[in-house]
């Protein structure tokens, strides 16, 4: 299984080679992998900003505790959850489902009402937590796709969302930076790559019942 071997190869890259850029073709493959991510009800209530502009990366770096990955990596993926629950998001999904699956929209009305009832029953705190969790599903696909393509990556929670939101103008779009990931190619000077991967033993991590 190539995926397992590639996951053994990947690690959270701490130092990128700033001279190497991810090609347009490979970037497109990463975008497709993120697009195909699972999400609750299939709604994909998030947007992904891909930052490659050097000046913008420099502006974001202080808001991520000055981590060099942000400026040395080829691209920064910023996974943003929607901060407001809007029925129009659900309506858009139902219309897309009707068109793509060639299903009369009337037959999807029950499913639409189910989603709306479920999302409206959440408190504001529950909604924010739930919508942010959706971005992590997409992040997981990105990391796995990077490993398949032998592109290095590093998921990062160590940043200040409020500052990212301000720099990227996210609040005006009803978005919030939930988690980020840098992608590119490891530097030969990154000694982290030579460390053995530490994971829980199978017998402790899993229990078959």
C-alpha to C-alpha distance for 33 and 31, rounded to whole angstroms: 5
Residue 4, pLDDT score: 96
Residue 163: enclosing H or E segment and its boundaries? helix 161-168
Q: What is the DSSP letter of 66?
A: T
Residue 105, pLDDT score: 96
3-class SS shares of the chain: helix, strand, coil, % to 5 = 55, 15, 30
Residue 117, pLDDT score: 96
Contact predicate 78/107, CB 8 Å = no
Burial of 102 (0-12, 13-18, 19+ CB in 10 A): exposed
Residue 64, pLDDT score: 98
The answer for residues whose C-beta is within 8 angstroms of residue 22's C-beta and 6 or more apart is: 30, 74, 75, 151, 183, 184, 185
Total-model pTM:
0.96
What CATH number was assigned to the domain covering residues 2-85+122-205? Answer: 3.40.109.10
Contact predicate 174/205, CB 8 Å = no
Residue 56, pLDDT score: 98
3-state secondary structure of 25: helix
Residue 181, pLDDT score: 98
Domain ranges of the chain: 2-85+122-205
Q: Show the tokens assigned to 34.
A: 């993120």
Question: Which portions of the chain are predicted below pLDDT 50?
Answer: none
Residue 81, pLDDT score: 98
């Amino acid at each position: 299984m190539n995926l397992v071997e590639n996951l053994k190869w990947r690690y959270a890259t701490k130092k990128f080679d700033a001279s190497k850029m991810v090609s347009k073709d490979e970037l497109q493959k990463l975008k497709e992998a993120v697009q195909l991510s699972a999400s609750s009800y299939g709604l994909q209530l998030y947007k992904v900003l891909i930052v490659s502009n050097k000046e913008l990366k420099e502006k974001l770096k202080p808001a991520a505790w000055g981590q060099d990955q942000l400026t040395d990596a080829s691209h920064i993926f910023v996974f943003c959850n929607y901060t407001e629950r809007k029925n129009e998001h659900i309506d858009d999904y139902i219309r897309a489902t009707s068109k793509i699956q060639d299903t009369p929209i009337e037959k999807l009305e029950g499913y639409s009402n189910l989603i709306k009832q479920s999302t409206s029953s959440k408190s504001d705190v529950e909604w924010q937590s739930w919508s942010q969790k959706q971005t992590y599903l997409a992040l997981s696909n990105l990391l796995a796709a990077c490993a398949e393509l032998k592109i290095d990556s590093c998921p990062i929670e160590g940043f200040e969302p409020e500052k990212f939101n301000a720099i990227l103008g996210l609040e005006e779009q009803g978005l919030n930076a939930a988690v980020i990931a840098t992608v590119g190619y490891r530097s030969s000077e990154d000694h982290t790559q030579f460390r053995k991967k530490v994971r829980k033993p199978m017998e402790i991590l899993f229990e078959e019942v």
